[in-house]
């Protein structure tokens, strides 16, 4: 049995031991901090890095930049180079399709085909398919080179004419209005423009000298004001039917509640207001809205009859041209409409609209929609939205009715 003195010594030694342990721990921590500080100050933690094993290859890729940022390419040079780069991407895509797609997209956005070489070379740093790719490209290039390069301006004859080059600039100037009309009517603006192209090509060729002399230089669209109205040649009785279809919920042409008020009138004289809207030669928005409504209403008529023509620009343009009275849904619709002669070749209205729609021309200004029509969402337009549409009439003197039908001599006198 321990004596009392021993017990007292034991009780005193426990706190002393704990104190000693704490002191030792602080001492160790202090030495660690001082040591880490010393290592840091001596620079022993610096990562000096290393030369990448592919540095020579990377340098060669970077040196390609000088070519990419060199002299500007002419249109012919750029087009010819794009053909070569498409071959490279097609061959590269056999091994790495996702990379090929990204490279194509990036080079097209940059607008420089020379970027393709650097991007393919950069992507192949980590691949073991270089020799296979080069061999495939060599075979494809050899086959491609057996056919001489052609320099035809366009595969579509009427789009290779001076007439179209003059007209397309006028359409670009109106692209904002075409896109706005598309949003208002729920119709792909490119479809509305396809109808515009057919009508303007027809007018251009019927009054060639007047259009070339007066409208061509200022890039203006031809506005009709007698038998048909506006840039798209909307007849009055067609406009009246469009307006009725918007309000008649029982009509097979009814577009839905969201679209009911897009053509509401502001005055007590709708006849005059309608004419002023359509023949406004400074602002063609209403011409495009009526056109969009015709396309949307016709599409719905056929769809409700069991035939979906929403993805048939040739049929939609044809039906726009021939009018509601000749729109009879059936299973075998055909492209047609008015005959239009351009540079000695005859086309139908529907074919010209089809050609333009799928040509890819003006795709930046009038992009393709994934969905050609936006159907009713059941929500009516607000009064502010209606007011915004109605504000799109110019405060200007309208052209006299029938001026586009005068002879050149009469026009000069006027």
The answer to the question of residue 186 being in a domain is: yes
Is 25 contained in some domain? no
Q: Are residues 226 and 130 in the same domain?
A: no
Regarding whether 117 and 265 lie in a shared domain, the answer is no
Q: Are 91 and 116 in contact (CB under 8 A)?
A: no
Asked whether residue 29 is domain-assigned, the answer is no
Do 173 and 271 lie in a common domain? Answer: yes
State residue 258's pLDDT score. 96
Average pLDDT over residues 393-409: 55
**Which residue range forms the structural domain that includes residue 133?**
63-145
- Please give the average per-residue pLDDT across 44-55, as a whole number: 49
Query: Is the domain of 299 the same as that of 370?
Result: yes
Half-sphere exposure of 68 (CA within 13 A, CB side): 16
> 349-382: per-residue pLDDT in tens?
999 999 999 999 999 999 999 999 998 988 999 9
The answer to whether residues 106 and 170 belong to one domain is: no
pLDDT band, very low/low/confident/very high, at 405 (cuts 50, 70, 90):
very low
Are 195 and 238 within one domain?
Answer: yes
Which of 92, 116, 145 is a domain's end point?
145
pLDDT, position 353: 96
Q: Is the dihedral of CA 252, 256, 257, 259 positive or negative?
A: negative
At 267-279, the pLDDT tens digits run 999 999 999 999 9
**Which comes out higher in pLDDT, residue 386 or 214?**
386
* Per-residue pLDDT at 191 exceeds 50: yes
The number of domains in the chain is 2
| Range from 132-141, 291-300, 342-351 that averages highest in pLDDT | 291-300
Distances (CA, A) of 140 to 87, 100, 144, 150: 7, 16, 6, 18
pLDDT tops 80 at residue 61 = no
* Residue that terminates a domain, selected from 84, 110, 145: 145
Percent of the chain with pLDDT over 70: 76
Q: What is the mean pLDDT of residues 382-405?
A: 73
In the chain, % of residues over pLDDT 90: 51
The residue among 145, 175, 197 that closes a domain is 145
Q: Which residues pair with 346 in a beta bridge?
A: 341
Q: Report pLDDT for 51.
A: 44
Asked if residue 277 is part of any domain, the answer here is yes
pLDDT of 2 above 60: no
Same domain, 171 and 270: yes
User: In this structure, is residue 287 part of a structural domain?
Assistant: yes
Q: Does one domain contain both 317 and 255?
A: yes
For residues 310 and 393, membership in a common domain is answered with yes
Burial of 228 (0-12, 13-18, 19+ CB in 10 A): middle
Contact residues for 368 (Cβ-Cβ < 8 A; gap 6+): 188, 190
Burial class of residue 30, CB neighbours in 10 A (0-12, 13-18, 19+):
exposed
Residue 51, in any domain of the structure: no
Residue 172 has pLDDT above 70, yes or no: yes
- Please tell me whether residues 109 and 176 are part of one structural domain: no
pLDDT at 301 over 80: yes
Q: What are phi and psi of 254, to 5 degrees?
A: -60, 130
Same domain, 141 and 277: no
pLDDT at 223 over 50: yes
Segment 179-187 mean pLDDT: 97
Residues 194 and 125 grouped into a single domain: no
Reported confidence tier of residue 79, pLDDT bands at 50, 70, 90: confident
Residue 224 lies in a domain: yes
Q: Is residue 12 part of a domain?
A: no
Q: Lowest mean pLDDT of 64-73, 104-113, 151-160, name the range.
A: 64-73
């Amino acid at each position: 049995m321990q004596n009392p003195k021993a017990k007292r010594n034991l009780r005193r030694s426990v706190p002393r031991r704990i104190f000693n342990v704490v002191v030792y721990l602080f001492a160790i921590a202090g030495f660690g901090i001082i040591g880490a500080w010393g290592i840091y100050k001596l620079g022993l933690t610096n990562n000096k890095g290393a030369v990448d094993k592919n540095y020579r290859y990377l340098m060669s890729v970077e040196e390609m930049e000088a070519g990419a940022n060199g002299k500007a390419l002419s249109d012919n040079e750029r087009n010819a180079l794009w053909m070569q780069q498409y071959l490279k991407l097609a061959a590269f895509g056999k091994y790495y399709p996702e990379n090929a797609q990204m490279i194509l997209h990036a080079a097209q956005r940059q607008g420089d085909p020379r970027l393709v070489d650097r991007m393919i070379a950069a992507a192949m740093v980590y691949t073991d398919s270089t020799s296979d790719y080069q061999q495939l490209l060599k075979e494809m290039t050899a086959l491609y080179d057996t056919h001489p390069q052609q320099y035809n301006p366009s595969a579509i004859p009427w789009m290779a004419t001076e007439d179209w080059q003059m007209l397309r600039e006028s359409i670009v100037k109106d692209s904002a209005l075409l896109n706005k009309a598309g949003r208002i009517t729920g119709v792909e603006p490119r479809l509305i423009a396809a109808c515009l192209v057919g009508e303007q090509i027809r007018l251009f060729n019927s009054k060639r000298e007047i259009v070339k002399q007066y409208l061509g230089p200022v890039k203006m669209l031809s506005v009709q004001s007698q038998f048909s109205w506006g840039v798209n040649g909307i007849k009055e009785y067609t406009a009246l039917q469009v307006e009725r279809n918007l309000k008649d919920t029982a009509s097979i042409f009814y577009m839905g509640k969201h679209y009911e008020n897009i053509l509401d009138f502001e005055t007590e004289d709708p006849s005059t207001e309608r004419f002023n809207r359509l023949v406004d030669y400074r602002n063609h928005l209403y011409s495009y809205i009526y056109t969009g409504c015709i396309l949307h209403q016709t599409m719905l008529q056929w769809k409700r009859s069991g035939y979906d023509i929403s993805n048939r620009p040739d049929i939609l343009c044809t039906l726009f041209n021939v009018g509601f009275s000749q729109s009879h849904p059936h299973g075998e619709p055909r492209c047609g409409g008015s005959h239009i002669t351009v540079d000695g070749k005859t086309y139908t209205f529907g074919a010209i609209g089809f050609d333009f729609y799928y040509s890819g021309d003006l795709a930046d200004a009038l992009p393709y929609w994934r969905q050609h029509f936006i159907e009713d969402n059941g929500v009516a337009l607000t009064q502010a939205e209606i007011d915004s549409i109605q504000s799109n009439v110019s405060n200007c003197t309208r052209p006299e009715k029938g001026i586009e039908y005068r002879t050149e001599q009469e026009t000069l006198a006027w």
